[in-house]
Chain A
Amino acid sequence: MKSTARRQSYGVKGAPYAFLLPATILFALFFALPIGYAIWLSLHKVKVSGLGLGSGARREVWAGLENYTDALTDSELVNGALRVLGYGCIVVPVMLGLALLFALMLDSENVRLAPFTRLAIFLPYAIPGVVAALLWGFLYLPDVSPFYFVLDKLGLPQPDLLDGGPLYLALSNIAVWGGTGFNMIVIYTSLQAIPAEVYEAAKLDGATPVQIALRIKIPMVAPSLVLTFFFSIIATLQVFNEPTTLKPLTNSVSTTWSPLMNVHRDAFGEGDVYGAAAQAVIIAFATLLLSFGFLRAANRRQKQEAAR
């Protein structure tokens, strides 16, 4: 495919740039400029004089790297990062594993109720965050949860889901519940794009559906898997919604549970947008290393395989 593509390009030099123009303009305006401004903010701080009341008492001054050193020496930010890594180690493999499994199952032949299950698994993504805290409150809090009711009736132990280790499971469950369908659809649409004749030969050779899935389908949707991985890593490092959802329900989730909650608290709770911006830049940088590092490694591997 690549070799044929290489032959073109005469007389069409401007075309790709023209196609990319809308995205580039939007990027410049709504991503690059605000990012630039956020970086600018991160290098500044507010300076109050005296009591700080009345006009002119508050100025923006150059802070250099002060906000960065503050953030890096903030043990809560580091602890938050560790918590998030632990959480990510559960969420990413489980969510993507299930997404791939479901997508392959949906794509296999003679599956009943496929349109229904497809919708059902996707639906959690459509539940607005506004009700999430109530929703999970009703399912996780022992006094109101039907699951605890069942455990109680059966005389089984009732774990405290909102503390310690189980808290990670409770959070991960929300993320897996909400994100599996989304990733499943990405993989599923990629599977749909594989022309049917690709399997035909294998089928005629007597390959089982499992073999077809492992040897043909998964390699062919590898780019989509890379995509879902890439964005899942980013979403994990920027995790905010799940712990924020559980926050009002328990004393175990602090306002600084994840690094992004820390950012949100500083920017929206404490009005320190400068420090928050510096933390955001650090998070972005860590995300860059991890996610693009992954993307690079994945691409290199794909190229090696293509070369073989």
Chain B
Amino acid sequence: MPYTKRRRLVTSAVALALGAAALAACGSESGDSETESGPVSLTYWTWTPGMDKVVDLWNKGPGKKDQITVTVKKQASGDTLITKILTAHKAGKAPDLVQAEYQALPTLVSNDALADISKNVGDAKDRFADGVWQQTTLGTDAVYAVPQDIGPMMFYYREDLFKEYGLTVPTTWDEFAKTARKLKQAAPDKDLTTFSANDSGLFAGLAQQAGAKWWTTSGDQWKVSINDAATQKVAKFWGGLVKEGAIDNQPMYTPSWNKALNTGKQIAWVSAVWAPGTLTTAAPETKGKWAMAPLPQWSANENRTGSWGGSSTAVTTDSKHQEAAAKFAAWLNTDGDALNALAKESGIYPAAKNAQTSGAFLKPPAYFSHQADFYTKAADIAETTAPSAWGPNVNVAYTTFKDAFGAAAKNKSDFGAALNKMQADTVADMKKQGFEVAR
């Protein structure tokens, strides 16, 4: 293989020039999980704030007993982290444990970066909703990660302003559209919300709610249906609202957007369970004025939601202590003390079912202190999460989404065409890589 040859050339050049004993520590072959004896030290890439404090619990408790020490190396979240992990993996230097969003798991697995830990964490399955667990198996017998947090989607709105403008909380998307138009008539300078093209996860979650399954497998083939009927429906719905000017078309997370939320220029937000944190920063002045409700539905008798965000803990194939790492991953996401600490130190919404209504989640978040049943409601909504279906190049679909829908939102043009482009580019990329793609 020419790659190895090149590597050798590079190696000798560096060793020569730096005079370093470069090769001594370069055994990048991943040791299969042999039974451990003696102390083990693991590294863990995570972006979760406060994770070091949670890991301390492990290092002082179960980890001490088993002589497994975990060190947190805090990273920035985002798509580029996947590239960083894959680059490190290419050099055989990926950390033992990584935090990964669910939609990134197929990409990582397809690059052979994640170890199958089904032997070690299989028992944990019952602790999670089926739809959540299924994301870590990719529909196979293997298990590639342990779910950590989830982001069931909800509808957030300004309770006071809804009252002021005589609006009722929409229970269907049809009502949502009417609400947007009604607000526009009552207060032309205000918007119910915006369609933002800078976070693909939101759109994916909305499509998921509508019943879309973007990637599925049959036999040895992938089937990509990003522009299926369900997603077309979602795209046309939002495209229509943007086109008629019933909602705004500017991106989220800009200073402008924060101000719009803070001053009541935008009075609702389709978001997920983690929204209270974002609202605390973005709209501090409106604390206590917001309320949370289930996401509007596509038909009145449905009760489903999508998910936006959420991540898992995975063990890499580069780890020389996969068994120990898997043990830690299971503890982190199923142990009561660990989950409590995660909620308290990191503010995550746990994937483990029993943790969603205990400990830190008995009380509502400070920003929603008046909505006492916030987390009970959230847990009920989480239960209704529709299954998701991720594929090996979600990243490509996501970047295409940003460009195609960004342009469509700006020009107020056909969202359906943008969706078709997303489908076409995703399929083309998979074919280029050599995946078997069913027509």
Contacts and interface: CB of A to CB of B under 8 A. Distances in A.
**Touching chains A and B, CB distance < 8 Å:** yes
Contact of A249 (B83, B251, B259): B251
A48 B430 CA distance: 9
7 contacts: A48-B433, A51-B220, A51-B221, A53-B138, A144-B256, A251-B250, A252-B406
B91 interface: no
B253 interface: yes
B433 A248 contact: no
Top 8 A-B pairs, shortest CB-CB distance: A251-B410, A251-B406, A141-B256, A48-B434, A143-B256, A254-B403, A137-B255, A52-B110
A256 interface: yes
A55 interface: yes
Contacts of A142: 256
Interface in B208-267: 217, 220-222, 249-251, 253-256, 259-260, 265
A51 B429 contact: no
A62 B3 CA distance: 10
Interface of A: 25, 28-29, 33, 37, 40, 44-58, 60, 62, 134, 137-138, 141-144, 163, 248-252, 254-256, 265, 267-272
Given A33-B13, A271-B107, A54 B3 contact: no
Contacts of A255: 399, 402-403
Residue among B220, B317, B403 facing the most chain A CB atoms (10 A cut-off): B403
Nearest to B252: A248
Given A249-B256, A251-B197, 13 more contacts: A40-B2, A48-B435, A49-B434, A53-B110, A141-B254, A163-B410, A248-B253, A249-B251, A251-B406, A267-B83, A268-B79, A269-B398, A271-B86
Contacts of B398: 269
B319 interface: no
A20 to B, nearest CB: 16
Contact of B393 (A55, A56, A137, A270): A270
Contact of B392 (A52, A138, A256): A52
Contact of A251 (B109, B138, B249): B249
A54 to B, nearest CB: 7
Interface residues of B, number: 57
B251 A251 contact: yes
B42 interface: no
B38 to A, nearest CB: 27
Contacts of B21: none
A29 B14 contact: yes
Contact of A51 (B222, B256, B407): B222
Contacts of A141: 254-256
Given A29-B17, A53-B109, A271 B260 contact: no
Contact of A55 (B112, B217, B253): B112
Given A33-B10, A252-B410, A60 B403 contact: no
A57 B112 contact: yes
A40 to B, nearest CB: 6
B396 A270 contact: yes
Nearest to B431: A48
B6 A37 contact: yes
B198 interface: yes
Residue among B86, B220, B406 facing the most chain A CB atoms (10 A cut-off): B406
A252 B254 CA distance: 14
B395 interface: yes
Given A60-B1, A255-B399, A271 B255 contact: no
A151 B436 CA distance: 57
B310 interface: no
Contacts of B250: 250-251
B436 A51 contact: yes
A256 B83 contact: no
A53 B106 contact: yes
A97 B399 CA distance: 38
A236 B397 CA distance: 29
Contact of A50 (B259, B407, B429, B436): B436
Contacts of A44: 2-3
Contacts of B82: 271
B98 to A, nearest CB: 15
B254 A248 contact: yes
A303 B221 CA distance: 65
A283 B11 CA distance: 28
Given A53-B138, A60-B3, A268-B79, A48 B110 contact: yes
A248 B251 contact: yes
Contact of A47 (B83, B403, B434): B434
A248 B198 contact: yes
Contacts of A51: 217, 220-222, 435-436
B422 interface: no
A40 B6 CA distance: 9
Nearest to B392: A52
Nearest to A247: B198
B256 A271 contact: no
Contacts of A137: 254-256
B220 A250 contact: no
A256 B403 CA distance: 8
A251 B407 contact: yes
Contacts of B436: 50-51
A25 B365 CA distance: 58
A51 B398 CA distance: 20
Contacts of B434: 46-49, 52
A265 to B, nearest CB: 6
Interface in B60-112: 79-80, 82-83, 86, 106-107, 109-112
Nearest to B436: A50
Contacts of B392: 48, 52-53
A29 B112 contact: no
B301 interface: no
Nearest to B425: A270
B409 interface: yes
Contacts of B106: 53
Contacts of B1: 60
B256 A37 contact: no
A137 B398 CA distance: 23
Contacts of A272: 429
Contacts of A163: 410
A269 B79 contact: yes
A270 B112 contact: no
A25 B17 contact: yes
